[in-house]
Structure 1
């Protein structure tokens, strides 16, 4: 019988086996501070990063934010690479220790997630969806998540399309200090069904 890990360690399951190589060619490793901060600062201050809410942050402020996240004991940031180049950043967190628990009752195996896709070296059709698929597989297969929880800004229409394409089921909108968030959940079975049921759409 599998041993259930304490909720506070869920986001770090499998970290000892990093870097993780995904079937679509992405490599994930833990964020390196301060080495990776210039990359994040460049990404987060670009015009398309509005919903990340860090466009006005300095590199030092971003470093402090991610150092606190990594030191928290209940969240981890990862950098995804493609062909050796930084491609995306993901935050995986334990909902039992996050403000999201004010709006739903976390279950064992729940894992929260935020992700940011950096600018591609060249335009590639379906690039963001391939990043999303790689991250979902990483969380289910490597981190051992049973269910992934997201709470994007209700006004972020693009991410809602992506979330639903990956199998997320939307529950309701909930108030956060800086946004109205849309609470959504996805199990491994829902993710696998979504990818298999609409391969033309998901891989486009």
Structure 2
């Protein structure tokens, strides 16, 4: 039940071609399991999940109309996993006043293949543009683990505004918001 079956692509000057496509839970499970089971992905919350559990989780996401998983490639090489969701259909929506046009997102950058400066920022900019390509989306909501200083700092540098700390079933999180106007002003 994927939101889209086509691939979104954008050429980024000096960076390459970034494409975003829906995750195929059965085809992509080995890649995703490898990423989410690494220590550096501890905030993703799936380090101890076996391959079949990861496939089961992504099959479940694939069955929803409100939550979606996306695999991001740079010049044909997988580099990131993003998830999007409608906050009103997610536990996070019970922790703040959801506005019309809010759209939630999660980000996991794949294992580094380079120490290239600006890598995460370039991927994040493409993904945010992808989310905001839908004119009904007015604000992106993210909720990184409150202990994940690196993610919070990255989002602040990208233009997100820090919101309150919230308690979700799996973590204490920091709400972060980026409205369409702030995103477009950066471009």
What is the TM-score with the length of structure 1 in the denominator?
0.83
Q: Which residue in 2 is equivalent to 1:22?
A: 10
Find the aligned partners of 1:27 and 1:143 in 2 and give their Cα distance: 20
Residues 127 and 143 of structure 1: CA distance in aligned 2, closer, same or farther (over 3 Å): farther
Query: Which structure features the higher share of strand residues?
Result: 2
Cα pair 2:25 2:62 within 8 Å, conserved: no
Q: Give the Å deviation of 1:175.
A: 1.0
Cα pair 1:88 1:115 within 8 Å, conserved: yes
SS in 2 for 1:162: helix
Find the aligned partners of 1:61 and 1:95 in 2 and give their Cα distance: 24
The number of equivalent residue pairs is 182
Q: Where in structure 2 are there 5+ consecutive unaligned residues?
A: none
Question: In the alignment, is residue 67 of structure 1 matched against residue 59 of structure 2?
Answer: yes
Q: Give the Å deviation of 1:146.
A: 1.2
What is the TM-score with the length of structure 2 in the denominator?
0.91
Find the aligned partners of 2:171 and 2:59 in 1 and give their Cα distance: 24
Cα RMSD, aligned residues only: 1.7
Q: Which residue in 2 is equivalent to 1:200?
A: none
Find the aligned partners of 1:65 and 1:190 in 2 and give their Cα distance: 33
Q: Where in structure 1 are there 5+ consecutive unaligned residues?
A: 1-10, 197-204
5 Å matches for 1:38-187? 38-142=30-134, 144-187=136-179
